[in-house]
Amino acid sequence: MTEFVQVKNFINGKFTDCVGLLDSFNPATGEVWAKIPDSGQYEVDAAVNAAAQAFPGWSQTPQAKRSAILQKVADILESRLDEFAVAESRDQGKPVSLAKRMDIPRAVHNMRFFATSCLNHQEKANYMDIPGALNYTTRLPVGVAGLISPWNLPMYLLTFKLGPALASGNTVVCKPSEMTSVTAWMFCEVLSEAGVPPGVVNMVFGTGPKAGDALVRHPSVPLISFTGGTATAGVIRAATATQCKKLSLELGGKNAGIIFEDADLEKCIPTTIRSSFVNQGEVCLCTSRVFVQRSIYDRFLEKFIAEARAIKVGDPSAPDTWMGALVSKEHAAKVTGYIQRAAEGGATVQCGHGIDTGIDGSNAINPKGYFVRPTIITDVKDDDAIMQEEVFGPVVCVVPFDNEEEVVRRANGVQYGLCAAVWTSDASRLHRVARKLEAGTVWANCWLVRDLHMPFGGCKSSGVGREGAVDSIEFYTEVKTVCVQIE
Ligand code: NAD
């Protein structure tokens, strides 16, 4: 009989059974490898009650003690890095090597960073000479926070919410993605071992429309931090419209890479390969539209295609694998559907899906896994679906442009505004273009260099709100102004 990983809800410091179970698939083999709870209103109510009961104790625990516990969480997670990386890969499809160098170290860093940044947070004060009053602000945790995270970077994004929510004194109910629940469940053991009191963190596993919906609608949950798709965010906004909840929404993107003719291609091409295909292109910040100045277009394209073709796709546990499998069969079908429709509409698929099958050398690809090779598409129009909609896979379009004004207009010509990457050696142009781009983050001559001190989030349909050192503390707390008249 096959042995499954049996994920359980974690409520009030205890692992609890759930009547209904869902299958969770290993994307690299297409086989069920875990069973997860199919939680609903009953489980969410129990988790919210536990969090509400734990709130007075945790919110009044001295900041330094909360910080010490969270730093211990980081230490224990770090000591189990390899084990978490293997589980993250098996659940999500990404290479183990990527989880070891990015996902789990970043989760450790998130916990450590927010545990300490909270200690250094300062508030405002202002003296009014007429009529003579001293004003100051003070911050209080909001209460029970609902944290809803997606499947692409499970531990990385869960801890980006959990770290600041807990450090600020909130208690939480987390609803990780139903497709990648295993590492969040393993993490509950780490939280207990580090001394996080029962009820402070509760994990409820299950689907969005059932467990997620019950959480966002819950009247005792005044704050929701959501990372996921723009369409889901619309459903959550509608579901919470009458309740005045605090909402942070980190959503999809259709990110542009802009490569001017004076760019350092030696640096730009490998970085743009990474920005297009890392984590199978399943990072909200991945580049999906590359605009290249016409004078270097052919040279760029030739090298870019050669580097994409050299990527090792295959068994996520093999040390030389650079790209693993997409998260699910349905998602792989969605991604390949976009490629197919683009080709039918007259686009040229230069490499990857449907072109390079079977030529990738040493890494055997399991035919039952959800693999899609790095795909580069040209000869598309700006208003084609593949240039407008988030594909969220290893697919990138490359198009030429002639001048600065034109490329800024075209880069901004989508509903999203998450991030962009600009490549040029002209510093003035770089700052000029960065200011004009409608995006929450602009990277210049680099990509995915993340400083947690800086605000992170999207504009337009890419989100509402910002998270980062100061921004997260502001979101996870209510600020109060105290005014003291001085006679
Ligand atoms: P998704 O919106 O389908 O699901 C995200 C989470 O929301 C999951 O836990 C899901 O179960 C839950 N959910 C679904 N329906 C819900 C509902 N009605 N009520 C409450 N919760 C519900 O997104 P996904 O497919 O898991 O993730 C991919 C998307 O996430 C992409 O669009 C990607 O760009 C985006 N993303 C954004 C960022 C960012 O920081 N901006 C980061 C990573 C991923």
Ligand 1 atom with least separation from CA of 206 = 11
Ligand 1 site, CB within 6 A:
148-152, 157, 175, 177-178, 207-209, 212-213, 216, 227-229, 232, 235-236, 250-253, 284, 390, 392, 418, 458, 463
To which H or E segment does residue 402 belong?
A: none
- Take residue 179 and report the two structure tokens written for it: 């497709």
Mutational pocket test of ligand 1: of 39, 152, 456, the residue with most ligand atoms within 8 Å of the beta carbon:
152
pLDDT at 185 over 90: yes
Residue 359: pLDDT band (50, 70, 90) is: very low
Nearest of 369, 387, 177 to residue 280 by alpha carbon: 369
Average pLDDT over residues 370-388: 97
How many angstroms separate the alpha carbon of residue 461 from the centre of ligand 1?
13
Angle at which helix 104-117 crosses helix 63-79, to 10 degrees, equals 170
Q: What is the pLDDT of residue 367?
A: 86
pLDDT at 361 over 50: no
Ligand 1 atom with least separation from CA of 390 = 32
Mutational pocket test of ligand 1: of 284, 419, 441, 461, the residue with most ligand atoms within 8 Å of the beta carbon:
284
User: CB-based contacts of 282: which residues, under 8 Å, 6+ apart?
Assistant: 94, 152, 326, 327, 392, 393
Residue whose CA lies nearest to ligand 1 atom number 28:
228
Encode burial over 437-470: b for 16+ CB neighbours within 10 A, e otherwise: bbbbbbbbbebbeeebeeebbbebbbbbbbbbbe
How many angstroms separate the alpha carbon of residue 213 from the centre of ligand 1?
12
Ligand 1 atom with least separation from CA of 233 = 2
Write the class of the CATH domain 256-444.
alpha beta
Phi, psi angles (nearest 5°) of residue 389: -105, 150
Average pLDDT over residues 261-275: 98
Over the stretch 219-258, which tens digit does the pLDDT of each residue have?
999 999 999 999 999 999 999 999 999 999 999 999 999 9
Q: What is the pLDDT of residue 357?
A: 65
pLDDT at 212 over 60: yes
Ligand 1 atom with least separation from CA of 178 = 11
Measured distance CA(154)–CA(162) in Å, rounded: 12
Q: Which of 88, 250, 467, 474 is catalytic?
A: 250
What is 69-97 written as a DSSP string?
A: HHHHHHHHHHHTHHHHHHHHHHHH---HH
**Is 344 part of the annotated catalytic residue set?**
no
Over the stretch 410-454, which tens digit does the pLDDT of each residue have?
999 999 999 999 999 999 999 999 999 999 999 999 999 999 999
Measured distance CA(103)–CA(149) in Å, rounded: 14
Over the stretch 451-486, which tens digit does the pLDDT of each residue have?
999 999 999 999 999 999 999 999 999 999 999 999
Q: Is the dihedral of CA 103, 90, 353, 151 positive or negative?
A: negative
Using DSSP, state whether 379 is helix, strand or coil.
coil
Mutational pocket test of ligand 1: of 159, 227, 230, the residue with most ligand atoms within 8 Å of the beta carbon:
227
How many angstroms separate the alpha carbon of residue 161 from the centre of ligand 1?
14
Average pLDDT over residues 96-106: 98
How many angstroms separate the alpha carbon of residue 236 from the centre of ligand 1?
11
Over the stretch 389-416, which tens digit does the pLDDT of each residue have?
999 999 999 999 999 999 999 999 999 9
Residues in the chain: 487
Report the chain's C-alpha Rg in angstroms: 23
Where do the domains of the chain lie?
5-252+462-485, 256-444
Residue 330: pLDDT band (50, 70, 90) is: very high
- Take residue 468 and report the two structure tokens written for it: 């980062």
How many angstroms separate the alpha carbon of residue 407 from the centre of ligand 1?
30
How many angstroms separate the alpha carbon of residue 249 from the centre of ligand 1?
10
Measured distance CA(239)–CA(224) in Å, rounded: 12
pLDDT at 339 over 80: yes
- Take residue 86 and report the two structure tokens written for it: 């293997």
Measured distance CA(337)–CA(330) in Å, rounded: 10
Ligand 1 atom with least separation from CA of 331 = 25
User: DSSP H helical segments within 328-397, as ranges?
Assistant: 329-344, 385-388
Measured distance CA(243)–CA(219) in Å, rounded: 8
Over the stretch 277-311, which tens digit does the pLDDT of each residue have?
999 999 999 999 999 999 999 999 999 999 999 99
Phi, psi angles (nearest 5°) of residue 380: -115, 160
Q: Does domain 5-252+462-485 correspond to CATH entry 3.40.50.300? A: no
Q: What is the pLDDT of residue 354?
A: 86
Measured distance CA(308)–CA(369) in Å, rounded: 20
The average confidence (pLDDT) of the chain is 96
How many angstroms separate the alpha carbon of residue 340 from the centre of ligand 1?
25
Percent of the chain with pLDDT over 70: 98
pLDDT at 364 over 60: no
Residue whose CA lies nearest to ligand 1 atom number 43:
284
Ligand 1 atom with least separation from CA of 213 = 19
Residue whose CA lies nearest to ligand 1 atom number 23:
228
E runs forming strands in 285-368: 287-293, 348-351
Mutational pocket test of ligand 1: of 7, 92, 110, 148, the residue with most ligand atoms within 8 Å of the beta carbon:
148
Encode burial over 158-168: b for 16+ CB neighbours within 10 A, e otherwise: bbbbbbbbbbb
User: CB-based contacts of 397: which residues, under 8 Å, 6+ apart?
Assistant: 288, 289, 290, 347, 376, 377, 378, 380, 386, 387
Give the type of residue at 486: I
How many angstroms separate the alpha carbon of residue 281 from the centre of ligand 1?
16
